[in-house]
Amino acid sequence: MSHNNRVSVLDNGYVRLVDVMGSDLTVVNSARCSYAKESAELSERDIRLIKFLAREQHTSPFRHAIAQFEIYAPLMVARQWWKYIVGSAHQEGTGDSLDAWNESSRRYVTEEPTFYIPQADEWRSAPENSKQGSGEPVDTSVGDELVERLKFYVAHGMYLYEEALGAGVCPEQARLFLPAYGMYVRWYWTASLQSIAHFLAQRLEHDAQVEIQAYAKAILALIEPRFPVAIGELIPEKEDE
């Protein structure tokens, strides 16, 4: 569900577009700076230039447009996401594509932990021909049992966490008792348009982790209206929502 600059994801997660610097015109004018030229409005000629830049992988103009997101997602999604930041130098020869990541820490934040718990029909089987990803949904009777087991595991972890805090243990150690991978974490991600497009190209793929696909679709829904031409060219075969 979308509310202008915010899209809900999974059971308790969301993506919020915090700020944007630039537009498709920013890409055009950054490229034309070499010739001391500038466009005031996006023209068909400008659109052809964006298409050329994307096709020929002239990526530096796409790094002059920036967007900042607030993301609330399970840790398993956050860590998959981080793998595609990798210092921002994700394409040979492109240099730093501008990324910043600041995440909340349970060393300092005392808000009630929130955990991702899939519904009974959302548990997936292992794929037959791959070591990663997932296959068809498991039977809902199995899913029901898994939901109950996960809820018990979370509740027991919360009990041990609160017991440790009550015994005077510092939060940074007490958090060891929390079931980590399903726990929601919050972070700010600021990235160039090039970096955002790289993330989307990777995580909109059908074989990407389903949960991170959901977040990629949310990012796409928020960023595409701001850069419709550039996103259309950088991710020409993106999945339909």
Active-site amino acid positions = 203
DSSP 21-70: E--HHHHHHHHHGGGT---SS--HHHHHHHHHHHHTT--GGGGG-EEEEE
Residue 54 Cα to chain centre, angstroms = 22
Compute the distance between CA of residue 43 and CA of residue 40 in angstroms, rounded to an integer: 9
Compute the distance between CA of residue 67 and CA of residue 191 in angstroms, rounded to an integer: 6
DSSP state, 87?
G
Q: Which strands sit side by side in the sheet containing 2-3, from one edge to the other?
A: 2-3, 6-9, 13-21, 66-74, 184-192, 99-103
Compute the distance between CA of residue 150 and CA of residue 179 in angstroms, rounded to an integer: 10
Backbone angles phi, psi at 25, to 5 degrees: -65, -30
146's enclosing H/E stretch is helix 140-166
Residue 203's alpha-carbon distances to 5, 27, 84, 212, 219, in angstroms, are: 21, 23, 9, 7, 10
Q: Is 88 left (phi over 0), alpha (psi -120 to 50) or beta?
A: left
Q: Any bridge partners for residue 100, and if so which?
A: 190
CA atoms within 13 A on the CB side of 201: 15
